[in-house]
Amino acid sequence: MAKAHNLGFPRIGANRELKKAQEAYWKGRISKEELIETGVMLRKNNWTIQSGLDWVPVGDFSFYDHVLDMSFTLGNIPSRAQKAGGDLFDQFFRVARGRSPVDGTSEGVAAGEMTKWFDTNYHYIVPEFSEETHFSPDVTRLIEQIDEARAAGVSAKPVLLGPVSYLRLGKEKGNIDKLALLDSLLKAYEVILGALEEKNVEWVQIDEPVLVMDLEEEWKEAFRKAYAALSGLKIKKMAACYFGTLGDNLDLALSLPIDAIHVDAVRGRSEVQKVIEKLPAGMELSLGVIDGRNIWKTDLTALLEWLEPIADKLGDRLWLAPSCSLLHVPVDLSLEKSMDSEILSWLAFAVQKLDELVVLAGAVNKGREAAEAKLEANRLALESRRTSSRVNIPEVKARAAAATPDMGRRKSPYAERAALQENILGLPLFPTTTIGSYPQTAEIRSVRRKFKKGEIDEKTYTERIRAEVRNVVAVQEELGLDVLVHGEPERNDMVEYFGEQLEGYVFSGNGWVQSYGSRCVKPPILFGDIRRPKPMTIDWITYAQSLTDKPMKGMLTGPVTILNWSFVRDDQPRSETCLQLALAVRDEVLDLEKAGIKVIQIDEAALREGLPLRKADWKEYLDWAVGSFRITANGVEDKTQIHTHMCYSEFNDIIESIAEMDTDVITIETSRSDMELLDVFDKFAYPNEIGPGVYDIHSPNVPKTEYMIDLMQKAAKRIPKRRLWVNPDCGLKTRDWPETKASLKNMVEAAHRLRETA
C-alpha cells in the first residue's frame, strides 16, 4: 500500500488569522497567551484538514519563519537578541523583526537578515554563524506540537530543516568557515533526533532542499558525514528534496544512510525512473506528484497512468505527496465566492490539493474504480480547461509564433541613439530622475479602494487621481528634477495593475500566500493567452505630460516581472507565456511613443528572481527572458529613450545579459553597498547609461548631499560621467512626503554640485 503524506501546510490560516494575531501582538493589542492560543487553534485546524493522510507534518507551523524556528530549536540565537532580556519568545521576535513588544520604546536590535527561500517568494531569516556560535538544542516546541497532533488524532511526522541545508543556507559573520561548525551542529541534531526517538516518533522528515542545487565537493562530503553521524539513531529518517531534480547529486542522495527519500516528481519528473532504478533495496521513495508551487488541478488520470506501474514495482515502499510544502499556495479555494466560476473549476489550493492526494492514493491502493466518480469530475474539469476558448486564442498564439528576434533590435546602436536623444531631451550632465512611485498616502489608497468597491464613480476617481498626479508633478518641478514621473497613484501593485487590464488573468479574493512574517501576497493567476484589449497607461501618462515641459516617463512593468510574480499556467512553456506578455506590453510601449512620450521605463524588478536554481539552466532562462524584454522595449524609434529598473543588488553575475537588453538607461540598487556593486564595471565595460541608486528608499533616513556626491564620484571612477544618472534606488511609495521631499532636495543639490565640478 502506498502511503499518503504531506510535507508542510500553510500556516497563515484560511483567513490570515496568523497575520492578524501577529500584528495585534506586536502592537500590544493582544497578549502573548492569546497569540499562542491562535497558534494552537491554527495547528489543530490544519491537522483536521490533513486527517485523511497517513502521515501529517508537525513543526511546519511557525510564528514567523520555520528556518528561524530551526535556529531556536538548535539554540543558535544571536547574542544581541539574548542580551536584550525577555524570554525566548521575545528573543525570537527580536531576531525576526528587530524588536519584541517588551522592548517598548527602546531601539531594539538589528533584525536577522532575510532572504528568498530558493526560487519561491517566501523569505526566511538567515541563520547566523560567527566565532561565538554554539548550539544548545531545545526540543520543547517540537515535543509540545507532537502531543497536540497526537491529541488531534493524526500520525505525527516531525519536520526539521536538515543539518547540511541549515548550514548551507546560513551566513558567516566575521572570519569563520561555517563548515567547521558541522561537528557541533551534528551533535545538536543527534540530541533532537534522540528526543524524538524517546517520544516514540516513527518517522522524521529531514528537509535537505540544497540537494537540488549545485554543490561543491566539500558540501557533498558534509552530506556523507552528517548522515553517517546520525545513522546510529533508530528513528526512521526521510530526507526531503524539492524544487528541482537531484541531477548530479542523485547518487550522493541515494548513498546516504536514510530510510526514505522524497523527490520532486513535478519539476523532477524526468528523473524519477532513474531514481527508482538506483533506489537501494532498503530505502522507501516518496514521490511529490501534486504541484506544491502552483494552483492548477492535477490531471489525476494521466498521473495514474504513469504512477500505477511504479506503484506495482515499489509496493509498500511508495509514498505519495505534494512536490514540496504547501506553504507556497493559498489555503482553501472553497472560500472564493466571487471568482469566475469557469476558471475556479480548474484550480486547487492547499486543501484541494490534499483532497487530490487522497483520491490518488485511494486509486493506487484500491484501484481506479474505487475513485471513479472523483476521477471523472477531475477529467471533466481538465477537459474544460484544455478546450476553453479563453485559454487558447489562436490569434494570440499566431502572433507569438510570428515574433522574430528582429522585433527586439533597436534601429541603431546606442551611441547613435544617445546623440539623437541628447538633442531632443536636452538633459544636463548627471540628469536626475526618480523610479516611478511617490508616497502612497492613506488618502490615495482609500480613493482606489472606494472606486473598486463602486463607492465613487469613474469621473470622481479620475479627478482624484489626476489631482495627485498634479501634486506629484508640481513637487518634482519645484525640486528641479530633470525627467519626471506621474507617481503611480492609480497602482496598488506593479503587477496587479497590468494583470487586471490584460485578458488571460484572473484574481482570487482570498488567495494569500505568506511572503515573510506577517506579510502575505495574493499573486494574480495567469490562466490563458494574453491579450491587451486596450491601452493601459496612456491616459494617465499623457495627462501627466500635459502638465509639464520636462520629459515625463511612461511607466510600465516588464514581461518577465509580470510572469515571475504571478501563478502561471502550466500547459505551455513559461517562455511562451512570457513572449505573449512581451507582445502585449510592447503594444503599450508603441502607443506611448505614438502619444508623444519621449522616455519610457519598463521595470524588470523580478528578472533576477526567476534565475533557475542550477547554473547550467541559467543561459536558457536568460535567453528567453532577455529576448522577451527586448521585444517589449526595442520596437521604438531611435529618438525614444528606454529605461529599465531593477531593484536587486547582485547583478554582477548576469551583467552581460543585462547589457544585452540594450536599454538606453538602467537604474539599479547600489546605495546599500557603498557602490561596491559597481566593481563589476572594472571588468565589464557596460556600454549604455546607468543610474546607480544614490540612496536607500527602504530607510526613513534623509541622505546627506555630501554622501550622495561621494557615492556618485565612486561611480564616476568606473563609468564615464556622461553616462551617469542620479536617482534613488527604488520607488518611493512606502515613504512619507516630508522625508521624500527632503531627500530629493538633497539629491538634486548633489547633482548640481557634481555638474559644477565636472
Q: Which residues are at the interface with ligand GLN (CB under 6 A)? A: 435-437, 488, 494, 555, 603, 605, 645, 647, 730-731, 733
**Nearest distance from C-beta of residue 623 to ligand GLN, angstroms:** 23
Q: Which long-range contacts (CB under 8 A, 24 or more apart) does 352-355 make?
A: 352/297, 353/290, 353/291, 353/292, 353/298, 353/322, 353/326, 353/329, 354/6, 354/49, 354/50, 354/52, 354/53, 354/322, 354/326, 355/52
DSSP state of 111: P
Q: Does 263 bind Zn ion (CB under 5 A)?
A: no
Among 4, 295, 359, 647, binds Zn ion (CB under 5 A): 647
Instruction: Report the sign of the C-alpha dihedral through residues 474, 480, 482, 488, in that order.
Output: negative
Bridge-partner residues for 642, per DSSP?
600
Q: Which is nearer to ligand GLN, 494 or 530 (CB)?
A: 494
3-class SS of residue 558: coil
Distance, CA of 287 to CA of 2 (rounded, Å): 10
Distance, CA of 81 to CA of 102 (rounded, Å): 12
Distance, CA of 23 to CA of 731 (rounded, Å): 25
Distance, CA of 573 to CA of 603 (rounded, Å): 23
Are 544 and 473 within 8 A, CB to CB? yes
Supply φ then ψ for residue 317, to 5 degrees.
Answer: -85, 0
Q: Which is nearer to Zn ion, 43 or 645 (CB)?
A: 645
Distance, CA of 534 to CA of 363 (rounded, Å): 47
**Nearest distance from C-beta of residue 603 to ligand GLN, angstroms:** 5
Distance, CA of 58 to CA of 18 (rounded, Å): 17
User: 368: exposed, middle or buried (C-beta count within 10 Å: 0-12, 13-18, 19+)?
Assistant: middle
**Nearest distance from C-beta of residue 522 to Zn ion, angstroms:** 20
Give the number of other Cβ atoms within 10 Å of residue 671's Cβ: 24
**Nearest distance from C-beta of residue 555 to ligand GLN, angstroms:** 6
Residue with cell string 465566492: 337
Q: Which is nearer to Zn ion, 51 or 734 (CB)?
A: 734
Across the beta sheet with 503-506, the strand order is 503-506, 525-531, 567-568
Q: Does 709 bind Zn ion (CB under 5 A)?
A: no
Distance, CA of 64 to CA of 71 (rounded, Å): 12
Distance, CA of 431 to CA of 417 (rounded, Å): 17
Distance, CA of 138 to CA of 161 (rounded, Å): 15
Supply φ then ψ for residue 281, to 5 degrees.
Answer: -55, -35
Give the binding-site size for Zn ion (rule: CB under 5 A). Answer: 2
Distance, CA of 696 to CA of 439 (rounded, Å): 15
Q: Parallel, antiparallel, or unpaired for β 260-264 and 236-240?
A: parallel
Are 446 and 741 within 8 A, CB to CB? no
Instruction: Report the sign of the C-alpha dihedral through residues 321, 325, 327, 329, in that order.
Output: negative
Supply φ then ψ for residue 316, to 5 degrees.
Answer: -65, -10
Q: Which residue sits closest to ligand GLN, CB atoms considered?
A: 731
Q: Which is nearer to Zn ion, 353 or 608 (CB)?
A: 608
Distance, CA of 698 to CA of 721 (rounded, Å): 26
**Nearest distance from C-beta of residue 421 to Zn ion, angstroms:** 23
Are 578 and 620 within 8 A, CB to CB? no
* Cα-only R_g, the chain: 27
Distance, CA of 6 to CA of 207 (rounded, Å): 12
Among 730, 747, 748, 751, binds Zn ion (CB under 5 A): 730
3-class SS of residue 422: helix
66 is catalytic: no
Are 146 and 199 within 8 A, CB to CB? yes
DSSP state of 483: B
Distance, CA of 272 to CA of 105 (rounded, Å): 55
User: 704: exposed, middle or buried (C-beta count within 10 Å: 0-12, 13-18, 19+)?
Assistant: middle
Q: Which is nearer to ligand GLN, 551 or 731 (CB)?
A: 731
User: 216: exposed, middle or buried (C-beta count within 10 Å: 0-12, 13-18, 19+)?
Assistant: exposed
Supply φ then ψ for residue 565, to 5 degrees.
Answer: -105, 20
One DSSP character per residue, 347-375 reads B--HHHHHHHHHHHHHHHHH-GGGGHHHH
DSSP state of 203: E
Distance, CA of 312 to CA of 107 (rounded, Å): 62
3-class SS of residue 181: helix
Which entry of 66, 123, 645, 698 is annotated as an active-site residue?
Answer: 698
Q: Name the residues annotated as catalytic.
A: 698
**Site of interaction with Zn ion (CB under 5 A):** 647, 730
